[in-house]
Structures are given as C-alpha cells and as structure tokens.
Amino acid sequence: MASQAPVSYVSPRARFGLIIPATNTVVEAEFNWMTVPGVSWHSGRIEIANPNLNDDDTMVAFLESLRGTIGAAVERVCSCLPTYMVMGMSAETFWGGQEGAKQFEQFMVEKAGGLKVTTGALAAKSALDVYGAKKIGIITPYQAVGDQQVVDFFTQMGYTVHMIHGLRCDTATSIAEVHPDTIKDAFRKVNASDVDALLQAGTNLPAARAAAEMEKELGKPVIAINTATLWHAYRTNGILDKVKGFGSLLEEH
C-alpha cells in the first residue's frame, strides 16, 4: 500500500498524479484553467506508438497497446509522491462496460501502489447522479466501436442513452483540433426535450468551455469529461471550491 506522502509547500491540499496519453494536449490546459489554490497536477505520459484511430480496428489496437505502456507512466509520476491519482484518458475507462470499468479502476490502483484514483467513467456517473439524470445524450471523438463501449457502460449502469454521436476523429492528436462550434453542434444533435443531461467523452476533445456555453443555451446539465474528472478528484479529496465559467457542476456542486 502507498505510504502517506509528505505535505508539499506549494500544494498542501493535494498533489495529483495525472495520467494522460503522450498524444493529449487538452487535459493539462483545461485542468490548469480550473486549478484552485493549494493543489498541483503532475503528468505521467503514456507512450503511444501509433496515434491512428481511423477505423474500429485501429482504435482497438490503440487501446490494447496503451495497456502495455501505462504502467511505466504511472511509475514515473509516482516518483513525485502524489497524494491521489487521476486518469486523464476516458476511452479505456469505459471499455468492457460496467465490469470493465471496475477492473480498470482496480488496475490503476494496483499500478499506483494503492493510491485512490478517479477515472472518467466513475466521474461521469457521479456527475450525472448529482443531477438525478436518467436519460442522456452523449458525444465523443471516437469510432463506432468506442461509442458502443460508452453506450454499454451507461446502459449497464441503469441509464437510458437517447443518442450518441461520434465525431470519428482520424488520429489521437486530431481530436484536439475539433472546433468548439463542431462540439456545440454535436451536443445539439443528441439533445431532446426528454433528455435529462448531455455528456461528452474523450479527454483530448476541448469541450470544457463549449459544454458550459451549451448548458446555458439548452437549460440542462451539459457535462464535459475533463470538468467531471477534475470535479470528482477535488470533491473526493475534500476540495469544495466553486469554480466559475465551466458549468453548474463546478459552480454549484
């Protein structure tokens, strides 16, 4: 089990280990926007041999290769003695539905030497439950095989998925190039009058601000995965600061 890490002068409240793919350029930027005093983020980057995601098979191969290199990223970031671990990649956290998500969380805890961990799937469920949402619309940057894994997870967790819209990004890096207007249009496509909340998966999709703007337009919760992940990590660690500009989840809950 992990031993109690000493207090850091610059981040006495929490020192977060943040695990992201080497191809990701959005998580750190969005987390920096939402960082509160007394915490710090320390990235461990997962080696990515092939960033292509242009069809179902290459996406599956991408995630399979990730499993083989994630341990090294966790080991490196643990050198700074983080107090908590955060998974800054969401696709893998949904894979295999409810049971797969649970197994991945356990896998991360073991790799981190017993540190507790926030995953995208766990954070998304917790955020939806805050609002009592049951029927949801989802957007992703994924291929069809990735979308199905997300649908399977939420269906098995008891939600009704009204619609999912995958943007079918060709590479892991091109996800970050999607314009906010495209993200907003995707949210509109999966909305309906009887949908309780909208959710975005895919941590390299720059959706934190776009989701907050859509929440005002649509008058219902619109949750970006990075916002939900950061919120869950904060609240789990007793950090109750309200952060404005990124939607009601961080402002009110």
Residue 251 is assigned to a structural domain of this protein: no
Whether 70 maps to a domain, the answer reads yes
Report the number of distinct structural domains present in the chain.
2
- Average pLDDT over the chain, rounded to whole? 94
Q: Residue 24: inside a domain, yes or no?
A: yes
Domain shared by 133 and 107, yes or no = no
Alpha-carbon torsion, ordered 90, 96, 97, 102, to 10 deg: -80
CATH of the domain at 85: 3.40.50.12500
| 1 within some domain | no
- Tell whether 46 is covered by a domain: yes
Q: Which residues are CB-contacts of 110 (< 8 A; sequence separation ≥ 6)?
A: none
Write the Ramachandran bin of 219: left for phi over 0, alpha for psi from -120 to 50, otherwise beta: left
* pLDDT by 10-residue block (mean), the chain, 253 residues: 66 97 96 98 90 81 80 94 96 92 92 96 97 98 94 97 97 95 98 98 98 98 98 98 97 98
Residue 6 belongs to a domain: no
The pLDDT value given to residue 1: 40
Q: What is residue 5's predicted lDDT score, i.e. its pLDDT?
A: 63
Burial class (CB in 10 A: 0-12, 13-18, 19+), 106: exposed
Q: What is the pLDDT of residue 52?
A: 78
Tell whether 19 and 112 lie within a shared domain.
Answer: yes
| pLDDT at residue number 162 | 98
Do residue 105 and residue 182 come from a single domain? no
CATH of the domain at 188: 3.40.50.1860
Task: Tell whether 85 is covered by a domain.
Answer: yes
Do the domain assignments include residue 208?
yes
Q: Please tell me the pTM assigned to this model.
A: 0.94
Q: Are residues 19 and 92 both part of a single domain?
A: yes
SS3 assignment for the chain: CCCCCCCCCCCCCEEEEEEEECCCCCHHHHHHHCCCCCEEEEEEEECCCCCECCCHHHHHHHHHHHHHHHHHHHHHHHHHCCCEEEECCCHHHHCCHHHHHHHHHHHHHHHCCCCCEECHHHHHHHHHHHCCCCEEEEEECCCHHHHHHHHHHHHHCCCEEEEEEECCCCECCHHHHCCHHHHHHHHHHCCCCCCCEEEECCCCCCCHHHHHHHHHHHCCCEEEHHHHHHHHHHHHCCCCCCCCCCCHHHHHC
Helix axes 56-77, 144-156, angle to 10 degrees: 70
Do 191 and 136 belong to one domain?
Answer: yes
- Do residues 61 and 107 both lie within one domain? yes
Q: What's the rounded Cα separation, in Å, for the pair 119 and 60?
A: 19
Residues 23 and 101 in one domain: yes
Question: Residue 3: what pLDDT?
Answer: 46
Please check whether residues 88 and 109 belong to one and the same domain: yes
Q: Which domain holds residue 129?
A: 123-225
Give long-range contacts, CB 8 A cutoff, 24+ apart: 72-76.
72/46, 72/47, 73/19, 73/44, 73/45, 73/46, 73/47, 74/17, 74/19, 74/44, 74/108, 74/111, 74/112, 75/44, 75/111, 76/44
